């Protein structure tokens, strides 16, 4: 019998094969008609996201600003062919501070590169394409501003609908515009390769 509506996005079939330990050909090569099993593949619990080709990393740093501003950024290189989702970003400082955040289209890094750590060691790529850097004296024309009390960490992502996207060639810069502070930024990201339908 001929098959219709054949599924051509391979990672969904691979997810079903790995999750259900199925052998042979694609377990879901076509869309169901009347009866179908349902897996919410884009909202899997964190322990199963590696099966759907997601890689998760965390990072963070303290930056002593001195008598100037300080900044940290996450950059998705133009040639990465990945989409980066910032699941959580928290910021704070040792004195009451005014933070600014800006999303920029370019490939500029700050002075000091900080390594990212894998959340799940089962992922196949220990070194992510995403680049995390920091520097003092970073200027910014912020898209958003945040006032943060001293020694308080402000969580900017509290629901899944507030998660932030970084496409190839974009960077997210966070700057503490208040001098004489030590700023802190912590975050969790997930990345995966872009699908053909997402690059058009």
* pLDDT tens track for 58-109: 999 999 988 888 999 999 999 999 999 999 999 999 999 999 999 999 889 9
Domain spans in the chain, listed from the N-terminal domain onward: 10-39, 52-198
How far apart CA 76 and CA 67 sit, in angstroms, is 30
The mean predicted confidence, pLDDT, of the chain is 85
**pLDDT digits 0-9 by tens, 16-55:** 777 777 787 776 666 666 556 676 766 777 887 777 788 8
Overall CATH class of domain 52-198? mainly beta
Question: pTM value?
Answer: 0.80
What is the structure's pLDDT at 84?
Answer: 94
Distances (CA, A) of 133 to 12, 22, 108, 138, 199: 33, 42, 10, 12, 26
What is the structure's pLDDT at 5?
Answer: 61
∠ Cα 113 182 128 (to 5°): 25
pLDDT greater than 90 at residue 125: no
């Amino acid at each position: 019998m001929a098959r219709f509506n054949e599924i051509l996005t391979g990672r969904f079939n691979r997810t079903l094969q790995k999750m259900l330990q199925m052998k042979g050909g694609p377990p879901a090569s076509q869309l169901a008609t009347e009866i179908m099993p349902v897996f919410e593949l884009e909202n899997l619990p964190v322990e199963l996201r590696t099966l759907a080709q997601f890689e998760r990393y965390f990072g963070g740093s303290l930056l002593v600003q001195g008598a100037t501003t300080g900044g940290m950024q996450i950059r998705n290189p133009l040639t990465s062919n990945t989409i980066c989702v910032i699941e959580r970003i928290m910021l704070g400082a040792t004195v009451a501070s005014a933070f600014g955040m800006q999303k920029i289209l370019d490939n500029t890094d700050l002075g000091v590169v900080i390594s990212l750590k894998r959340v799940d060691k089962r992922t196949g790529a220990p070194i992510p394409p995403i680049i995390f850097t920091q520097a003092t004296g970073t200027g910014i024309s912020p898209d958003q501003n945040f006032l943060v009390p001293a020694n308080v960490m402000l969580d900017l992502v509290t629901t899944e609908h507030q998660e932030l996207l970084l496409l190839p060639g974009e960077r997210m810069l966070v700057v503490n515009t208040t001098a004489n502070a030590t700023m802190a930024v912590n975050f969790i990201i997930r990345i995966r390769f872009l699908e053909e339908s997402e690059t058009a």
